[in-house]
Every structure is written in structure tokens, then in C-alpha cells.
Amino acid sequence: MDTRTSAKDLIARLVGFDTTSEKSNLELMSFVQDYLSGHGIESHLTPNETGDKTNLFATIGPAGRPGVALSGHTDCVPVVGQPWETDPFIVTEKDGKLYGRGTCDMKGFVAMCLAMVPAFLERPLITPIHLAFSYDEEVGCTGVKPMVGRLGKDLPMPLAVLVGEPTMMQVVDAHKGISDFETVITGFESHSSMDLAGGNAIFAGSRFVGELMRLREDYIAKGDASGRFTPPYSSIHVGVISGGTAGNIVPRRCEIEWEMRALPEHNSGDVERAVMAFADRELLPVLRSVSPDTSIVTTRLVDAPGLAPDAGSAAEVLAKRLTGSNAVETVSYATEAGHFQLAGAPTVVCGPGDIAQAHRPNEYISLAQVDACLDFLSKLTQACRTGL
């Protein structure tokens, strides 16, 4: 079986596992582990605390040497409510495209890495190739962290990490981070005729949002010194506000879900501290004037660090060599790349498919992109045979 046919078959197998982030990925990982074992490759699992999900790390080539890690996540976003024209968990080939949930984001890349395993093994590698497959990327890039925490300890620290998120095989050397927060304001519930406005959690919440808007304008004014990002600033966004029980009751509770997508040089913790300092200084005293049993609490739900540009890094040099292009791009979405970089591994993002197809109904990857990625991985194989 040629590598392209093998890749198509493996894409179909992986898409067939419903690994929506809320579900287990153990069945898929068992398949991957068995596939690797069938080729004589040992894999190491890093399960989550409940044991229903796991990461997988495997090394092909000499142990004890730093190698090139191919990183991908095995979870996918839900299909519920989306108008799919085909079964999202059965790959359909049509007009040079493979349709199915995860074909683009990003089981396609994982499958292509697996399809290349026989080629990786065909001749000895001087520089090893690592496979690093994770869970829960789609819910905040949280699943990869336990595996990354093992790098340089009982798992080898890669000399370069290539995260195969869909970039149309362009080299991405920088992206924004994302931090999601939930702020819960607890006020004092009373009959609206009493007009205890100081205890009104929604009033406090509206002022809290106003401060976020002011901070947003500050970051827009700071802009993007590199001139490479779109939009060209660190963005602050409020997505959900909920609260109150009835029109004639002073609301006791207001919940605000907000996020920051920070440029690599900015820290969402600065915004969190600034808005909470405002809350403690301006909002909480008003609430406490009505009742001591009031509070404002912010919880960080998601924290995926940005990827900072690292010109001349081993990952960038390698990716440019394999793609044959000296260009580097930026994206405004987050990936697991920032976690690898923070752990000390040079990292770039470069993978098949168009991000515009991700998360949408009728998601697909073109066979042209499959071929481009397999060519990229074939060149990586040659490079690792001669040594990096």
C-alpha cells in the first residue's frame, strides 16, 4: 500500500472515533498504540486524573537523543446542531477532498504521521522522530500540559517541535495566546421597590464590563509593534453575561465570561490584576455598603500561552528547509505550541489544511494538502537519516 492510500485509510479510521472533547479518547489511543506496537514502536501514555483520556508519546530512532517532535491533538469540536451533508464520523471523498470531523483539525495530520511510520523505519535515523499526541486541545490546550511536564525528565526534550495544526503547510512562528475568565459578582437580593442599588450585582457587572472596555482601548492603542498580527493588538472580549431572576428583584448574582487574546509580549495576568484592582477599589465597597456577604471572584478557565517568534531557532530553520520557503506567518488563534516553547523546546506550527475549514460543518482536507504534508514528512525523514 502506498503512503497516500495508507494516510487516507488512517484518516478514515481516526475520524471514525468520536473524540469530541467531552468524550474519552482512549479507544482512539488504543488503536494508535496497537498500530505503533505492530511496527515495533513503544509508546508512553500520560492519562488524565480520571483516566478517561490520555496523551501518547513515542520515539522512532535512537533513544536518549533529542529529536524532532510531531505534535497533534486527538480531540475535536462537537457536530451537534451543524448542518452536515454527510455523516461527520465517516470520511467521504468527493472532488479531491476528504470530508469529516477532524479531517482538517487535526486528525488528518496525526494520520499522516502514522502513515509515514514505515518510511521512518525503512532506514536508520540518526536524529529520532517523536510522536506527541494529546487530548483536550479544543477546550483550552489543557491536555498536553501533563505530557509537556515530562519533557526533559522521563521523556526526551525535543530539539524541535512541529505542531501540525492547519496552516496550508506555511511556517507559523508566532501566535496569540488565549485566556478565558469567569467573573461572578454576588450582590444582595431584595424587592426592587427598596431600590438597594448598591447591592445590584448587574449594576456592578456593567461597571466591571466598562472597565474591561477601557482596558481593551488601552491595548488597541498599544497596538502590535511587530506589525504582523490581525487584528494588530491584544484583544479583550466579553462573550456571556447572565444574572437576575425577575424584573422586580434586585439581582443577587451576575456572571461574566470574558477572554483576552494576547500578543506574545503581553500577559493576560496584567489585565486580570488591573480589572480586579478596579473591582476591589470601586465596586466591592458599594456592594459591601449594603451587605458584608457580597463578593467579586474571577476564575481563570483557560490559559494557553502565545507562541513568541524565535528567529533562527532549530524548529524554524528546519521547517523552512522542509517547506523550501523562507517566509514565516502569524495567526491569531492559539495552539499547543506555546506550552512546548515555555518548556524549552523550539517550536513552530506547520500543518496541512485550511483553518477556515476547522470547526465548520462539512469540514474537509484536500488531497493536495495531504500530498504536500506527506512530501514534507518525507523530507523530514531524509533529514533525520543524515542527522540534524
Angle between helix 26-38 and helix 107-115 axes, rounded to 10 deg: 20
Is 195 an active-site residue?
Answer: no
Catalytic residue among 9, 22, 42, 75: 75
Neighbouring residues of 270: CB distance < 8 A, sequence distance ≥ 6: none
DSSP 3-state assignment of 217? helix
Angle CA 302–269–164, to nearest 5: 45
| One-letter identity of residue 309 | P
Tell me whether the omega of the peptide bond preceding residue 231 falls within 30 degrees of 0, making it cis.
Answer: yes
Active site residue 75: yes
CA distances (Å), origin 302, targets 125, 181, 317: 38, 7, 31
CA nearest 286: which of 188, 192, 193? 188
- Specify the pairing of strand 129-134 against strand 68-73: parallel
Distance CA 324, CA 330 (A): 18
Structural element, H or E, at residue 120: helix 117-122
- Among candidate residues 22, 34, 87, 137, the one labeled active-site is 137
174 forms bridges with which residues in the sheet? Answer: 330
Q: Which residues are catalytic?
A: 75, 137
